[in-house]
């Protein structure tokens, strides 16, 4: 049965990360950028060592260079690297883990948001594991709790403009109350949530996490290119 994968972003404490994995999260996000959710490599390694098999670990970086990223990879043994800044596509070939590239979607009215995504994707080559779409905010690169217009992605998919970009990960302002609708509209491979399952920045609410994961199981059947 097809289902959307779930990444819970910004974990800091091993026991809570384990509990969230046991609830059904497919991936745990560890933030190495300036954020209330920041973790040290030592904290991240403790989380990685606690998680059971088949739960992915994703390190989030913003405009770090490949040397610094690879140093963290070696110290923590994270499985994936998420690039959430203005990194050049050639950095993907220098990183010793599969990469996820985040793009902030701005509604410019003419579909122009997609052109840089496709260009970056083409230039990055085969080490790019997935594309993540997040909300644009001029004051922050992520974790803002804001949504973007999901119809932009639905329209692009209907026009065939997303061909070759899947798997897509959807982020930005998701919570248990809206994630089912977001899945139906965007048809992503996975969803990524931070603030939507928190008591406060960096502190997760396990009841919200449970409700969010349950809500992702209630969307319509997926019919994206990636599933076919």
**pLDDT tens per residue across span 64-75:** 999 999 999 999
Distance, CA of 80 to CA of 135 (rounded, Å): 21
Residue with tokens 């913003």: 62
118's enclosing H/E stretch is helix 114-124
Please state the rounded mean pLDDT for residues 71-86: 97
- Mean pLDDT, residues 77-101 taken together: 97
Secondary structure class of 8 (helix, strand, coil) = strand
Number of folded domains in the chain? 1
Tell me the residue range of the domain where 97 lies.
Answer: 5-227
CATH number for the domain harbouring residue 215: 3.20.20.70
Angle between helices 206-216 and 179-186 (to 10 degrees): 30
Nearest Cα to Cα of residue 214 among 180, 174, 181, 183: 180
Q: What is the mean pLDDT of the chain?
A: 90
Greater pLDDT, 203 or 69: 69
Q: Answer whether residue 16 shows pLDDT above 70.
A: yes
Rounded Cα gap, residues 119 and 33, in angstroms: 25
Rounded distance, CA 109 to CA 131, Å?
Answer: 21
- 124 pLDDT higher than 50: yes
């Amino acid at each position: 049965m097809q289902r959307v994968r779930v990444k819970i972003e910004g974990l800091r404490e091993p026991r809570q990360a384990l509990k969230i994995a046991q609830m059904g999260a497919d991936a745990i996000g560890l933030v190495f950028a300036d954020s209330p959710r920041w973790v040290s490599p030592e904290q991240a390694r403790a989380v990685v060592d606690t998680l059971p098999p088949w739960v992915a670990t994703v390190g989030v970086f913003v405009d770090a260079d490949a040397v610094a990223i690879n140093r963290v990879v070696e110290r923590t043994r994270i499985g994936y690297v998420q690039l959430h800044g203005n990194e050049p596509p050639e950095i993907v070939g220098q990183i010793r883990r599969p990469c996820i590239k985040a793009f902030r979607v701005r509604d410019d009215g003419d579909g122009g948001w997609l052109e840089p995504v496709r260009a970056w994707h083409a230039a990055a080559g085969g080490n790019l594991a997935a594309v993540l779409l997040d909300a644009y905010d001029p004051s922050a690169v992520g974790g803002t709790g804001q949504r973007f217009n999901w119809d932009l992605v639905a329209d692009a998919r209907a026009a065939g403009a997303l061909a070759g970009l899947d798997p897509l990960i959807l982020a930005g302002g998701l919570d248990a109350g809206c994630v089912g609708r977001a899945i139906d509209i965007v048809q992503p491979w996975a969803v990524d949530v931070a603030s939507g399952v928190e008591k406060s920045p960096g502190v997760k609410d396990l009841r919200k996490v449970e409700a969010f994961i349950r809500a992702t199981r209630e969307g319509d059947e997926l019919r994206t290119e990636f599933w076919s």
